[in-house]
Amino acid sequence: MTTYEQYLRESAVSRKTIDVFLDENEPTWAKYDGEVGYTLGRYMPRDGIDGSSTISTSQDNGQRSSRLYAEQRSRINTYGNSFTQCHQVSDGETWQEYLAAHLGEPIRNFGMGGFGVYQAYRRMRRVETSPLGAKYAILYIWGDDHCRSVMRCRHAATHRWWNDENGRMFHGNFWSNVEMDLVSGSFTERDSLLPTPESLYKMCDADFMVEALSDDLMVMLYAMERSDVEGDVAALKALAECLGVEGIDESDPDARRASVSALMHAYGFAASRYVVNEEVAFLREYDKQLMISLLCPTATDQVLRGHKRYDREFVDYLRAAGYLVFDMNEVHREDFKAFNLSVDEYRKRYWIGHYSPAGNHFFAFSIKGMIADWLDPKPVTYRSDERIQDFEGYLPDVATGG
C-alpha cells in the first residue's frame, strides 16, 4: 500500500508542463487564474463525436465563446463544471446556445471543466459584481462537484490517470476552496495557496506538494478510495465527528473502501449545503435569483435501474429549503421509459463521456420550460402580448437586404 506522502510526491508537475500552461502564445484548453485556478482557454481537443476535434474557445471576458445574440445584455449567466462548459462539443453546440436560439436571447456560459461547487460560486461572485452580472444565475451541480469544492488542488487527486498532454490539457492546479476546520467544526473559505503565475512553479517541487496537501483530507480520501493509499485515520476520525458520521472501518478491505466512500460523500455534501446557502444569500443581497440544476452519472444510472439514488438526502435538502431545482436525473428516468433499450444503450443516445451535441440539445429542451416560467418578463418567444415587427438586432442587414 502506498503512503499518502509518496502519492503526493508523485503528483509534482514537470516544469515544461507549467511553461506550456502559462504561455499565452500556446494553445491550451485552460488558462491560469489566481482565484479559481484556471478558466477556459482556446484549444481544439480531439474528443468529439465520431473522432472529431471540438472547437473550445473563450472570449476575452472569460465566458465560453457564443454567437447568438452576443451583442445583447444577458439576463442569464450559467456556472458550474464541464457540463456547464459543455466539454466534448464545439462552441455552437452547447446547451446555452441551443437555448438562446429557442428563447431569442443570450445565455452566457461561465462553466469550466473540473470545477467544484465552491469554485463555481467564487467565479459567480466575481462575475455577478462586474458589468457582466445578470438578474438570473444557474448553478449546475454534477457528479463529484461536491467533493472537488473541498480540495486545495484537484490535480493531486487525478494525477495518476489524467493525461495533461504536456501542458495543453493541464488543469486542476491550486485554487480557492472551502474545507472543514477540525477545531471549530465549521467550514472555512480559503484563498488559493498559489495566487500568481510565478508561484505555480512550486507545483514542480515534491516537497511543496507534500507540505501543502498533507492535511488535505478530501485529496486523501480520493487517494484511499481510488489508489489504495494509506490515510491518516485519526484525522479522518476527527472529520467524521465534525460531520456526525462514522469514521474509517479498517476491519477488512471492503469495509474500508465503503467507509472511505461514505465519509468522502458526507464531507462533499456538507460542503455543498454550506456553499449553496452562501450563494443564495449572496445573490439575494444583489437582488438576483438562483436556479440549481442537477445531473450526476451515478444518480442517473441508479434511477434508470430503479435503485435509490445516493444523493437523495442532498436533493431533499435543496427542495425543503425552498430552492428552485431542475433535476435532469429525473428527466432521464422518465425519458428512459419511452425506449426498449438497456441502460448502456440508452446512454449512448446522449453521452460520449460528457453530453454529445444531442445530449446538450435534449438538456436544453428539457430545462426550457422552467426557465421560460422563471424569467420576468418571459422570453420574447413565450410572450403573448408582443411580436417582433421589424426584427431589428435579429437580422442586422434586413434594411439593406444584405
pLDDT of residue 398: 47
Separation of first and last alpha carbons in the chain = 69
pLDDT of residue 388: 65
pLDDT of residue 402: 47
Check whether the bond before 253 is cis (ω within 30° of 0). Answer: no
Rounded Cα distance between 396 and 398, Å, is 6
- What sign does the CA torsion over 242, 245, 251, 255 have? negative
Domain ranges in the chain are 4-226+269-382
pLDDT of residue 387: 67
Quick one: 104 exposed, middle or buried, by C-beta within 10 A (0-12, 13-18, 19+)?
middle
Considering the four listed CATH numbers 3.20.20.140, 3.30.70.520, 3.40.50.11710, 3.40.50.1110, the one that applies to the domain covering 4-226+269-382 is: 3.40.50.1110
Rounded Cα distance between 153 and 177, Å, is 9
Among the listed residues 28, 31, 118, the one whose alpha carbon sits nearest the alpha carbon of residue 79: 118
Dig out the grid coordinates for 149 from the structure: 469544492
Among the listed residues 68, 76, 69, the one whose alpha carbon sits nearest the alpha carbon of residue 375: 76
Kind plus residue range of the DSSP H or E element containing 145? helix 145-148
- What sign does the CA torsion over 80, 84, 88, 90 have? negative
C-alpha distances in angstroms, 266 versus 147, 218, 311?
Answer: 9, 11, 10
Farthest-apart Cα atoms in the chain, separation: 78
Quickly count: other Cβ atoms within 10 Å of residue 250's Cβ. Answer: 11
- Judge whether 69 and 105 are in contact, CB under 8 Å: yes
Rounded Cα distance between 402 and 397, Å, is 5
The model carries a pTM of 0.96
Over its length of 402 residues, how does the chain's per-residue pLDDT go in tens digits? 899 999 999 999 999 999 999 999 999 999 999 999 999 999 999 999 999 999 999 999 899 999 999 999 999 999 999 999 999 999 999 999 999 999 999 999 999 999 999 999 999 999 999 999 999 999 999 999 999 999 999 999 999 999 999 999 999 999 999 999 999 999 999 999 999 999 999 999 999 999 999 999 999 999 999 999 999 999 999 999 999 999 999 999 999 999 999 999 999 999 999 999 999 999 999 999 999 999 999 999 999 999 999 999 999 999 999 999 999 999 999 999 999 999 999 999 999 999 999 999 999 999 999 999 999 999 999 988 766 666 776 666 644 444
- Judge whether 353 and 45 are in contact, CB under 8 Å: no
Angle between helix 253-285 and 233-243 (nearest 10): 50
**Backbone dihedral region of 257: left (phi > 0), alpha (psi from -120 to 50 degrees) or beta?**
alpha
pLDDT of residue 358: 99
Rounded Cα distance between 85 and 81, Å, is 6
